[in-house]
Amino acid sequence: MGESFRTSIRCLLTIAVILTAPNSSALAADAAFAQFVASLWPEAQKQGVARQTFDHETAGLEPDYKLPDLILPGRPATGAPSQAEFVQVPADYIKEASIARLAAYGQKLMQQYRPSLDKIEARFGVPATVVLAIWGRETDFGRYTLPYDAIRVLATQAYVGRRKDQYRGEFILALKLLGEGVVARKDLRASWGGAVGLTQFLPSEYYQHGVDLDGDGRVDIWHSVPDALASAAQQLAHKGWQGGLRWAHEVRAPDNVDCTMGVPEMTKPIGEWLRAGFVPVRGQKLSAKEQAEPASLLQPEGIYGPAFLTTKNYFVIKEYNFSDLYVLFVGHLSDRMTSPLPFATPWSASAQLRTADVEAMQKGLTRIGIYKDKIDGKAGMLTRAALGAYQKSAGLKVDCWPSEAVLRSINAQR
């Protein structure tokens, strides 16, 4: 067989491979992904990851472009769901039926794990109900199986996520977890954001806050409930949790409330808020110590729905998950384990704008010079306050709630 014939055969085989490939651009993208993962070896080596571990855990690894919160140049939107905390209205996220179900089960778990919970309260000052509420919110008390392979998620987020630098480190620390035998790959399941374990820790949080409460010589947040709950408590303690302080007080706001005050920077002693017309919803009397505590106003639905005076511990929980709805869920679930009372003020039936519309609103408010925070499509406290400031300047009803009508008004300012 002549060399020219063999060359022709090789060319035909190459063409056949290209023609039968499902997507040649996808192959190129996957090759680039593999190259990216391989480039992380020097960083992994510095963190103590063995070469054998690195090669074994990354062999055949493919990106998952269906995850939310990715930046994919030249690619259409994946249609992947966004994080519920940022796209649902409060009534949908904090459902009474879910709260009641979890609270009832949490009460049983409080008795089952009483010795461990007593140790946690004594050591970290975090109430048993708070760590149980985090466990309930994160994984339904361990009954929810996390859907993703953590290594694949973290590698994808490091490659095309919005926080690439952070996820490079998390990916490498996940490899370290595997290499040290902390957890098996089959058990290293994650959320789309790469959090793992019963109480949803990123790998770096495991190393920073992990606690061996059951005394078996290892920190196991996947199978040991005492370790997982103690680790959650230590994370809160490390972030500034104050023992004996409530997370928030639900209040009725006065009719003339200025909703633009609802930002973390606007803090006043609770007593001052009360003297300004805010009233605890159950008519309870707050002690002098409680009234001296600084608090911020939170109105998750603007002037509609419940209002809260949030303490420092509210923002400590928010560092666990940066969402007001998450904190409200955890805080309220914690309360419901000792009290049957729901929120005194019902949530309104307001609709939530799409993420893209909130992002357009933030860009418009930035252009006008009213909003100076990040453009992320999430209607948080700063976005709602800036919206209220715009409504004031435009002579609109000031309700601090994003709506299509306000978006149209902002867009008309071009």
Round to whole Å and give the CA distance between 339 and 392. Answer: 39
Q: What is the pLDDT of residues 146-190, one digit of tens each?
A: 999 999 999 999 999 989 999 999 999 999 999 999 999 999 999
- pLDDT for 288 beyond 90: yes
Which amino acid is residue 332, in one-letter code? H
Lowest mean pLDDT among 76-90, 142-156, 183-197: 76-90
Round to whole Å and give the CA distance between 245 and 127. Answer: 10
Query: In the chain, what's the furthest Cα-to-Cα distance?
Result: 98
Q: Residue 13: what pLDDT?
A: 39
Q: Express as a percent the part of the chain with pLDDT over 70.
A: 89
Is-contact 254 276, C-beta < 8 A?
A: yes
- pLDDT for 17 beyond 80: no
Q: Which residues contact 58 (CB under 8 A, 6 or more apart)?
A: 37, 38, 151, 155, 175
Structural domains of the chain ordered from first start: 248-310 (no CATH), 355-411 (1.10.101.10)
**Beta-bridge mates of residue 201:** 196
Q: Residue 1: what pLDDT?
A: 46
Round to whole Å and give the CA distance between 376 and 197. Answer: 27
For residue 112, name the pLDDT band (cuts at 50, 70, 90). Answer: very high
Range 292-309 average pLDDT: 96
Round to whole Å and give the CA distance between 137 and 101. Answer: 12
Is-contact 399 388, C-beta < 8 A?
A: yes
Range 292-306 average pLDDT: 96
Q: Residue 80: what pLDDT?
A: 44
In terms of pLDDT, which residue wins out, 75 or 76?
A: 75
Lowest mean pLDDT among 65-79, 92-106, 118-132, 344-358: 65-79
**H-helix or E-strand containing 298?**
strand 294-298
SS3 content of the chain, % helix, strand, coil (to 5): 55, 10, 40
Q: What is the pLDDT of residues 206-261, one digit of tens each?
A: 999 999 999 999 999 999 999 999 999 999 999 999 999 999 999 999 999 999 99
Measured CA to CA in angstroms, residue 158 lies from 162, 163, 166, 170 at distances of 8, 7, 7, 8
Q: Residue 218: what pLDDT?
A: 98
Q: Residue 52: what pLDDT?
A: 98
- DSSP notation for 382-412: HHHHHHHHHHHHTT--------HHHHHHHHT
In terms of Cβ atoms closer than 10 Å to its own Cβ (0-12, 13-18, 19+), residue 181 is exposed
- pLDDT for 74 beyond 70: no
What's the pTM value of the predicted model, to 2 decimals? Answer: 0.89
Q: Residue 87: what pLDDT?
A: 58
Mean pLDDT of the chain: 90
